[in-house]
């Protein structure tokens, strides 16, 4: 049973930890968002790919919710003392990974190649793929102006209301090597409980990825990132309210029109008739511990009709 998962960072990573606990990780392929990648202090940082890698390798800091456990911050403090930028937090251990990635990219490796190397070095058995190797970047349009994603999200604490989201580079971007095959050869496709606009949106903005999903012959199941109409963390609920007009399961499903067969929603949300014959499946979607993560993964496979 092969599963391919479209994923952002933290929410996607939580889901993936449950999935690899219930299916053979050798049969899991992950298509990760790269549109919030950023260059910091000369280093290429891929926050979503790294959240996944750290989570699956058991290296993530679960309390802080991002970055690595047992982290220290000497390099960043030193950079700041010497007048370097320090608003984007990079820990010492994290920087070690970014150094290796950045060197490989400068030597001509693709992001796909270097991501595979990093994943292997971290002991991952599943396949971790960036959605694209082409430059694809999310921009947020707000009353205060248009901001690069991390400027809005981190530097401005995502306080500006979002009028529109756009994905620079999307028209030219092609799926990275392995992505279309992973979708075409999957027995089940999952859209993780990630932010529909800034994590999954950029992946679906790559035309050939969207087309591969649209022509699927296997079930595609999305998991809602909302519980009781609210994001567990981050701006997904505010974005849905403004950009989709509400935070019900129907509003979440409207982000994935024509691309999903079922939407897994939380017990706290009201099941609804969804457009396009999309089924709602009710589960407990809060992934607060290992057991909850496993249970959600099993519910998703069950919703797809492919029990583990
Ligand atoms: P990011 O790229 O690091 O921002 O992470 P994602 O886009 O992958 O995930 C962010 C989303 O995960 C947020 O909208 C959260 O509401 C959602 N999320 C986080 N934890 C949980 C959880 O336990 N259950 C559900 N259903 N959603 C979650
Ligand atoms: Ca992200």
Q: Measured from the CB, is residue 32 less than 6 Å from ligand 1?
A: no
Residue 158 has φ and ψ, to the nearest 5°, of 40, 40
Q: Which residue among 195, 264, 290 has the greatest number of ligand 1 atoms within 8 angstroms of its CB, and so is best to mutate?
A: 195
pLDDT class for 308, splitting at 50, 70, 90? confident
Find out whether 237 and 252 touch, Cβ atoms under 8 Å. no
Nearest ligand to the CA of 283 is 1
Give residue 238 CA to ligand 2 midpoint distance, Å. Answer: 16
Whole-prediction pTM: 0.98
Query: Could you report how far apart the first and last alpha carbons of the chain are, in Å?
Result: 8
Q: Measured from the CB, is residue 267 less than 6 Å from ligand 1?
A: no
pLDDT recorded at residue 272: 87
- Which of 131, 150, 180, 118 lies closest to 32 in space, CA to CA? 131
Find out whether 60 and 50 touch, Cβ atoms under 8 Å. no
Nearest ligand to the CA of 196 is 1
pLDDT recorded at residue 216: 98
Interval 13-45: pLDDT, tens? 999 999 999 999 999 999 999 999 999 999 999
Give residue 33 CA to ligand 2 midpoint distance, Å. Answer: 7
Q: Which atom of ligand 1 is nearest to the CA of 12?
A: 8
Which residue CA neighbors atom 7 of ligand 1 most closely? Answer: 194
Q: Measured from the CB, is residue 9 less than 6 Å from ligand 1?
A: yes
CA dihedral 207, 209, 215, 216 (to 10 degrees): -170
Percent pLDDT > 70 in the chain is 100
pLDDT class for 49, splitting at 50, 70, 90? very high
pLDDT recorded at residue 298: 98
Find out whether 131 and 29 touch, Cβ atoms under 8 Å. no
pLDDT class for 307, splitting at 50, 70, 90? confident
Mean pLDDT confidence for 224-249: 98
Instruction: Quote the CA–CA distance of 301 and 294 in Å, as a whole number.
Output: 11
pLDDT recorded at residue 306: 81
Q: Which residue has the tokens 């205060």?
A: 144
Interval 248-293: pLDDT, tens? 999 999 999 999 999 999 999 998 899 999 999 999 999 999 999 9
Interval 56-82: pLDDT, tens? 999 999 989 899 999 999 999 999 999
Find out whether 308 and 298 touch, Cβ atoms under 8 Å. yes
């Amino acid at each position: 049973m092969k599963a391919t998962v479209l994923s952002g960072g933290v929410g996607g990573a939580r889901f993936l930890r449950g999935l690899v606990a219930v299916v053979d990780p050798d049969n899991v392929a992950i298509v990760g968002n790269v549109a919030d990648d950023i260059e910091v202090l000369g280093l290429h940082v891929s926050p979503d790919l790294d959240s996944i890698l750290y989570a699956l390798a058991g290296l993530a800091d679960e309390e802080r919710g991002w970055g690595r456990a047992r982290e220290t911050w000497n390099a960043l403090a030193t950079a700041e003392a010497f007048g370097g930028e320090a608003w984007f937090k990079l820990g010492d251990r994290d920087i070690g990974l970014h150094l290796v990635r950045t060197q490989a990219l400068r030597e001509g490796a693709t992001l796909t190649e270097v991501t595979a190397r990093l994943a292997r070095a971290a002991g991952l058995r599943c396949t971790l793929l960036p959605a694209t190797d082409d430059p694809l970047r999310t921009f947020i349009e707000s009353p205060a102006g248009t901001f690069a994603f991390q400027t809005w999200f981190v530097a401005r604490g995502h306080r500006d209301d979002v009028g529109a989201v756009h994905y620079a580079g999307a028209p030219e971007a092609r799926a990275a090597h392995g992505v279309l095959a992973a979708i075409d050869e999957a027995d089940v496709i999952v859209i993780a409980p990630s932010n529909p606009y800034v994590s999954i949106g950029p992946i679906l903005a790559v035309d050939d990825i969207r087309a591969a999903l649209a022509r699927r012959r296997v079930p595609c199941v999305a998991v809602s990132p909302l519980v009781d109409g609210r994001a567990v963390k981050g701006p997904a609920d505010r974005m849905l309210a403004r950009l989709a007009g509400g935070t019900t399961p129907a509003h979440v499903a409207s982000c994935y029109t024509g691309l999903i067969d079922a939407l897994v929603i939380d017990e706290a949300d009201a099941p609804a008739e969804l457009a396009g014959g999309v089924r709602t499946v009710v589960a407990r979607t809060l992934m607060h511990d290992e057991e909850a993560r496993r249970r959600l993964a099993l519910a998703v496979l069950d919703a797809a009709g492919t029990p583990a």
